[in-house]
């Protein structure tokens, strides 16, 4: 038997074991995707099993498997890589080695991982930062931040914000020869959430004189008020990021208390006192027709106010950037948003695009019709390189 046959059999058996989810026709390299997501599912199931037995938190198990991804900061012929701290927050810095007559662009990057996993030092993230530095001839700062379940909101937000503020000091920019007029921020998934949140916060911060030129949000999570959007309904069981995992990660950003997770799953966590916030996430008015097709808007079911009193984070604009009003959005920098068709978070990104456009912000929306959550950093997938090329060319034109 050839290697392909063996792989086919393994995938087949595991696929059958986990319940085969038919993939849409337009997914490229479907077997590869099945294989990767089967590994992810196995990890998640082991995590839940360990939790059931009382051995550990499911995030600990996931982190244990993921820690093999950590690579040391290693310079190569094109980039000098080093680690330091900005305002006590650990960051990895990528400096192009090529000689430059002029000041360079700067890019502040925030990794994903559901606010509880990931690191600037993970192979995929390190690889992307390296390529960004070389392709754009830019200084890339890839930040870390404290993670759940040890730390909850707003620790993640505050770490990223503190590191960003440190980076935007003139003396720091001078040290790395960065042009203060050409600084961008990018983040992926939970990192896109943090990128959008700190970019909003920066607008009103009188201490920071240097402002961002661009923000790039890569399939970001932008709100947890309504977890019954069409994208949640359509992709509830899609490989990788299912609705139940998404809800677990969202609630885990705020607390270990599983009662929030339960309420969120049934979309009954927002108290009636906060009903005025629903207009900011009303998909019935904020999604283009194409994405509403076949779905009916249900008016919110309100929950009791106890959860919101205990964990007010989920109603906080620093955790849910979609809750900002138009006056605040109006001042945001040039924006690039990537959304993927097969992603529960798709409609978060699309609603933000609509809201930014309505507020007069210049936005480029790149919707990936055959995309799925995480596609940019799935190394070895053609789709990852395709999205990376589009993202880099937007940055090279706009930053
Ligand atoms: C350095 O850059 C050159 C030109 O872009 C590229 O061909 C080479 O593979 C790069 N080296 C590494 C180690 O990435
Ligand atoms: C959402 O928008 C629709 C119209 O598009 C409107 O009928 C409905 O009342 C809105 N609901 C909320 C909670 O804002």
Write out pLDDT tens, residues 69-115: 999 999 999 999 999 999 999 999 999 999 999 999 999 999 999 99
Domain hosting 57: range is 30-68
Alpha carbons within 13 angstroms on the beta-carbon side of residue 367 total 16
What's the number of domains the chain is made of? 2
Are 106 and 187 part of one and the same domain?
yes
Residue 51 has a pLDDT of 82
Q: Which ligand is nearest to the CA of 94?
A: 1
Average pLDDT in the 1-14 region? 63
Per the DSSP assignment, residues forming a β-bridge with 216 are 186, 336
The verdict on the CB of residue 285 being under 6 Å from ligand 2 is: yes
Q: Is the pLDDT of residue 10 over 90?
A: no
Are 202 and 219 part of one and the same domain?
yes
Tell me the percentage of the chain whose pLDDT exceeds 70. 95
Are 212 and 328 part of one and the same domain?
yes
Are 85 and 215 part of one and the same domain?
yes
Specify whether the CB–CB gap between 139 and 176 falls below 8 A. yes
Name the pLDDT band for 64 (thresholds 50, 70, 90): confident
| End-of-domain residue from the set 17, 50, 68 | 68
Name the pLDDT band for 224 (thresholds 50, 70, 90): very high
Q: pLDDT digits over 291-327, tens only?
A: 999 999 988 899 989 999 999 999 999 999 999 999 9
Q: Which ligand is nearest to the CA of 280?
A: 2
List the single range of 6-10, 12-16, 104-108, 335-339 with lowest mean pLDDT: 12-16
Specify whether the CB–CB gap between 82 and 93 falls below 8 A. yes
Q: CB count, 10 Å around CB of 68? A: 9
Q: Is the pLDDT of residue 1 over 60?
A: no
Antiparallel, parallel or unpaired: β 178-188 and 104-110 = parallel
Pocket test for ligand 2, best of 228, 278, 284 (most atoms within 8 A of CB): 284
| Residue length of the chain | 399
Q: What is the pTM of this model?
A: 0.94
Whether 134 maps to a domain, the answer reads yes
Residue 63 has a pLDDT of 84
Q: Which ligand is nearest to the CA of 98?
A: 1
The verdict on the CB of residue 278 being under 6 Å from ligand 2 is: yes
Cβ-proximal residues to 121 (8 Å cutoff; 6+ apart), any chain: 70, 71, 72, 73, 92
Specify whether the CB–CB gap between 332 and 214 falls below 8 A. no
Are 34 and 114 part of one and the same domain?
no
Higher-scoring residue by pLDDT: 245, 7: 245
User: Which residues are tagged catalytic?
Assistant: 189, 343, 373
Element (H, E) at 34: helix 30-52
Q: pLDDT digits over 257-297, tens only?
A: 999 999 999 999 999 999 999 999 999 999 999 999 999 99
Q: CB count, 10 Å around CB of 275? A: 12
Q: How far is the CA of 296 from the centre of ligand 2 (A)?
A: 11
Residue 31 has a pLDDT of 84
Are 38 and 81 part of one and the same domain?
no
DSSP string covering 130-196, please? HHHHHHHTEEEEEE----TTTS-TTHHHHHHHHHHHHHTSHHHHHHTTEEEEEEEEEEETHHHHHHH
Q: Is the pLDDT of residue 337 over 80?
A: yes
Are 183 and 330 part of one and the same domain?
yes
Q: Is 354 left (phi over 0), alpha (psi -120 to 50) or beta?
A: alpha
Q: Which residues' Cβ are closer than 6 Å to ligand 1?
A: 76-78, 134
Cis peptide before 266 (omega within 30 of 0): no
Q: How far apart are CA 200 and CA 202, in angstroms?
A: 5
Handedness of CA 373, 379, 383, 386 (dihedral sign): positive
Q: How far is the CA of 382 from the centre of ligand 1 (A)?
A: 20
Specify whether the CB–CB gap between 107 and 215 falls below 8 A. no
Average pLDDT in the 320-348 region? 98
Whether 136 maps to a domain, the answer reads yes
Instruction: Look at residues 338, 346, 396 and name the one whose alpha carbon lies nearest to residue 364.
Output: 338
Are 200 and 109 part of one and the same domain?
yes
Burial of 19 (0-12, 13-18, 19+ CB in 10 A): exposed
- For ligand 2, atom 7, name the residue with the nearest CA: 284
The verdict on the CB of residue 282 being under 6 Å from ligand 2 is: yes
Whether 146 maps to a domain, the answer reads yes
Are 56 and 101 part of one and the same domain?
no
> Mean pLDDT across the chain, nearest whole number?
93
- For ligand 1, atom 6, name the residue with the nearest CA: 78
Q: How far is the CA of 13 from the centre of ligand 1 (A)?
A: 40
Instruction: Look at residues 352, 377, 112 and name the one whose alpha carbon lies nearest to residue 253.
Output: 112
Q: How far is the CA of 249 from the centre of ligand 1 (A)?
A: 37
Percentage helix, strand, coil for the chain under 3-state DSSP, each rounded to 5: 45, 15, 35
Are 154 and 121 part of one and the same domain?
yes
Q: How far apart are CA 384 and CA 120, in angstroms?
A: 18
Are 39 and 162 part of one and the same domain?
no
């Amino acid at each position: 038997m050839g290697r392909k046959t063996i792989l086919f059999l393994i995938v087949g058996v595991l696929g059958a074991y986990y319940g085969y989810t038919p993939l849409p026709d337009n997914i490229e390299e479907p077997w590869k995707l099945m294989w990767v997501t089967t590994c992810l599912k196995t990890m998640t199931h082991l995590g839940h099993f360990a939790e059931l037995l009382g051995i550990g938190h499911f995030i600990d198990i996931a982190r244990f498997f993921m820690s093999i991804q950590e690579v040391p900061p290693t310079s190569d012929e094109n980039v000098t890589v080093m680690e330091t701290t900005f305002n006590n927050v650990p960051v990895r810095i990528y400096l192009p080695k090529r000689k430059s007559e002029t000041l360079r662009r700067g890019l502040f990057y925030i990794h994903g991982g559901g606010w509880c996993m990931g690191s600037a030092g993970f192979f995929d993230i390190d690889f992307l930062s390296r390529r960004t530095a070389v392709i754009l001839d830019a200084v890339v700062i890839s930040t870390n931040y404290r993670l759940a379940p040890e730390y909850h909101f707003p620790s993640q937000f505050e770490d990223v914000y503190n590191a960003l503020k440190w980076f935007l000091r003139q003396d720091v920019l001078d040290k790395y020869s960065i042009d203060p007029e050409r600084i961008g921020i990018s983040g992926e998934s939970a990192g896109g959430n943090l990128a959008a949140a700190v970019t909003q916060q920066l607008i009103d911060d009188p201490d920071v004189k240097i402002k961002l030129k661009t923000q790039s949000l890569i399939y970001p999570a932008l709100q947890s008020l309504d977890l019954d959007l069409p994208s949640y309904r359509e992709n509830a069981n899609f490989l990788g990021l299912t609705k139940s995992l998404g809800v677990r990660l969202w609630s885990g950003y705020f607390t270990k208390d599983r009662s929030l997770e339960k309420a969120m799953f049934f979309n009954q966590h927002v108290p009636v006192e906060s009903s005025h916030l629903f207009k900011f996430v009303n998909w019935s008015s904020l999604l283009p027709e194409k994405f509403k097709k076949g779905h009916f808007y249900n008016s919110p079911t309100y929950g009791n106010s106890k959860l919101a009193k205990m964990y007010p984070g989920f109603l906080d604009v620093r955790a849910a950037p979609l809750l900002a009003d138009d006056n605040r959005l109006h001042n945001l920098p040039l924006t690039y948003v990537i959304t993927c068709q097969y992603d529960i978070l798709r409609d978060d990104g699309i609603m933000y695009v609509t809201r930014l456009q309505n507020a007069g912000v210049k936005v480029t929306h790149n919707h990936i019709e055959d995309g799925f959550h995480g596609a940019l950093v799935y190394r070895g997938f053609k789709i990852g390189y395709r999205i990376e090329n589009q993202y880099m060319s937007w940055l090279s034109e706009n930053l």
